[in-house]
Structure 1
């Protein structure tokens, strides 16, 4: 273990692989520079809501979207994890 440590704070848990690959690539580059790198997966309520399948019922658009997705509980549970 080195005394040169770097924490990478990122939100790399959305529903695409690009953000995870970018976080991994950055970690590898930092390690090749001689540092110990650790990824810290940051998340808050706003970001979870942004990537959520269902939306709050605060507009006609969101209500319609929730109604359309209602018959597909498997999709909702898969995307909200």
Structure 2
């Protein structure tokens, strides 16, 4: 049986994650409020941001930027797009 959550991005009941995606309280909050689909979409978008903006994940500023964008993306707020990316 799959676990369901009320996804904060899509505002409806959807399949939940199997395990928390991050450690600690933040991971628990995401586990309880973000669907599997929304998390997978975020991972794809995060990869585009890292590649297109040439982010160095060793840089704390880049990591803070990604955390901020993750919150915006998963909350349905306006978030940064990858420069030059045109969706199909």
> TM-score, normalised on structure 2?
0.28
Bigger radius of gyration among the two: 1
More strand by share: 1
